[in-house]
Amino acid sequence: MVRREVLIKQLYAIQANIAAALAMLEDDEGPPADTKQLCFHPKDCRESTTVFGGPEQWTCSLCGYEYVEEQGEDS
């Protein structure tokens, strides 16, 4: 069980390193239109920012990723 936990932590570290490298490559206009950033952290790390009647919104407490449901997008 300990090895599994260590592997999970290593994978999260790799994910953070990749995100940092991609951020360094992006210009001031943000990521290219053909890429979409995603957060793969557990759902219990999500802090809901959804407002009544609005689209689903949340922020990851681990990586800071902000999700906003787009019109017509399936959950």
Digitized pLDDT (tens) for each residue of the chain, 75 residues in all: 679 888 988 998 898 888 878 777 765 555 555 445 678 888 888 999 988 888 999 998 888 888 888 865 554
Q: What is the pLDDT of residue 34?
A: 46
How many domains is the chain built from? 2
| CA pair distance 60, 72, nearest whole angstrom | 22
* Residues 69, 43 share a domain: yes
Give me the domain span that covers residue 12: 1-30
* Residues 50, 17 share a domain: no
* Residues 43, 24 share a domain: no
Q: What is the pLDDT of residue 15?
A: 87
* Residues 42, 23 share a domain: no
Residue 37 carries which DSSP code? -
Residues sharing a CB contact under 8 Å with residue 50, sequence separation 6 or more, in sequence order: 56, 57, 58
* Residues 75, 43 share a domain: yes
